[in-house]
Structures are given as C-alpha cells and as structure tokens.
Amino acid sequence: MSKTTAAITAVGAYVPDFVLSNQVLETLVDTNDEWITSRTGIKERRLLKEEGKGTSYLAIKAAQNLIEKSNINPEEIDMVIVATATPDMLVASTGVYVATQIGAVNAFAYDLQAACSSFLFGMSTAAAYIESGRYKKVLLIGADKMSSIIDYTDRATCIIFGDGAGAVLFEPNHEGLGLQDEFLRSDGIGREFLKIDAGGSILPPSEETVKNRQHFVFQDGKTVFKYAVSGMADVSEKIMQRNNLTQDDVDWLVAHQANKRIIDATSSRMGVDDSKVLINIEKYGNTTSATLPLLLSDFEHKFKKGDNLIFAAFGGGFTWGSIFLKWAYDKK
C-alpha cells in the first residue's frame, strides 16, 4: 500500500474592500511612499473597517470562497484549524465559531497561534492529522485582523500590517504529492522584540495600560529584521539540502510577506531565480497568518501538478521554519 501524504486540494481567500494606501498613511504619520516602498515593498494594505466584525469574519469569507470554488460539502470537513494572532476574543475559540458558521458541523476546531509562522505551523499540524489516517479533510485557515492591534500613530508598525484571510484544504494523497518535509524552529529570545505588552495574564487590561497604549503591537524592527533574514534563509537552504534539491528543482518560493528585502535575502541564499519568487506584499502588506494562503490563492493559476514549492516564514516569539510541498493539481 502506498504511503499516505497530505496534499493541498483546494484554496480560497478573502481581503476587505477598504484600501489603505501609502499616500493615505502620509497624512497620518511622518512618512512617504518612496520611503515605505524602498524599505518594505508595500504600496497598500486592506483593512476591515466594519464595526463588530473581527478575524472570524475574514476566516469565514475565505473558507466560503474555498467551499464554493471546490464544490465541497462542508459537512464532510473533519477538522478546522484557524491560524491567527488576532482571535475574536480570549477564551472562546475563533476556529470553533468559524466551523459552525460555515456549516462544518461534523468537524472539531481550534486556534493555532505562532505569530507570523501560524499558517506554516498549521500546515505541519494539518498534514500530521491526514497522515495519521484518522482524518480525510482538514481545513486550514490563516486569518488576521491586524488593524485591531496596530497603533496608527506609530510609523514603525502602521506601514507594515494589513487584514486578510486565506484557506486551504488538506486531503490524503497516494501519488507522492503534498507535504514532503518540514524544518520548524522556535526560540524564546524573541519575546521582547515583537509583542503586545498588555492584555495577557502578566499585565491584564487596566485604565493605565490603555492610556499607555500598551495594547498595540510593539516591534524592534532592526532586531526582528536581522533574525528574520538569517532564520528564513537558513531553514530554506536546509530543506533544499536535506531533500537534494537544486535551485533548478524549486519551482516556486512561497515566502511570508513581511518585507521584500527579507524575501530577496531568502531567495538569494537559495539561489532561486526572481521569476520563481511569489510576491504580493505590494497589495496587502503583512497580513501575518494570511500571507502564505493569500499567495497560494493569487498564484494558483500558475501551479502545475508535481511542482516543488518551498514555504518559508518567520514570526514573533521567535518562530520560523520551512516546508517542502509538491503541488497536487492543475487548476481547472
């Protein structure tokens, strides 16, 4: 009997309508389009502006897009994982609500949080469930409403992040396609460099924490950039070496869209040609857990069955890693 691997068989996505351009940001903070573009590669990002709508709204929309495109019955989904750094609320799982709202009534669901590596780590988790033989259809959604935790008076962070969601369906494969290998890492040294100070169990919300703007993302940009460049490049190179892949064997680099310079450094280290590097950061900014599935959705039409995809991500904590996956279908 051939080995069971976990393959992506469907993709969906959603981004909000509201566009926050660099030109608009120029009116909010001391910055300009040239500065933002040259340092990050970002031209605009999408924000979810509707009141009372959170990450679950984005996740539901992306999941519904996948369900409609693939014509799958949501009742057949065994499991839903929502990878996110911005859950709707504490305690009540966003994933559970999303599963119910999309009609995945036979699935169990939960959230997975590893900052910008959440979706990448979720791929590993989803694949393990499929490979175990216990589950046939695992829906993995990466969704974040980053605008809910960004201080739009802080030019160090407000230029970077946007809102969005993407979803993929993992199913068993017996042709040797799907997830082949992974190299995932984490290091608690990163705790102080990318975080939200207040709102957790160490520093619960108070009048003072709100006044001190401690419920917004803080990022030590230079330190995070340095670790991200070396981390993403290292693991991507390692996964190639471990699987005897040359630069010609890699069809696509699917890298977390945090900063164009980090992506360039990673592809350069791998020796992968620019034409194989997927980029959409200029349209969406850093959507955290949603960057990888949004890339898959935007470029799905380019993938061919059997293509070698290398995924790479780096996130707060620190968390980072790379995954080697063989694409399982040609888009109809």
- Known catalytic residues? 116, 256, 286
Distance separating alpha carbons of residues 91 and 133, to the nearest angstrom: 30
- Alpha-carbon radius of gyration of the chain: 19
Distance separating alpha carbons of residues 99 and 141, to the nearest angstrom: 10
Distance separating alpha carbons of residues 182 and 311, to the nearest angstrom: 9
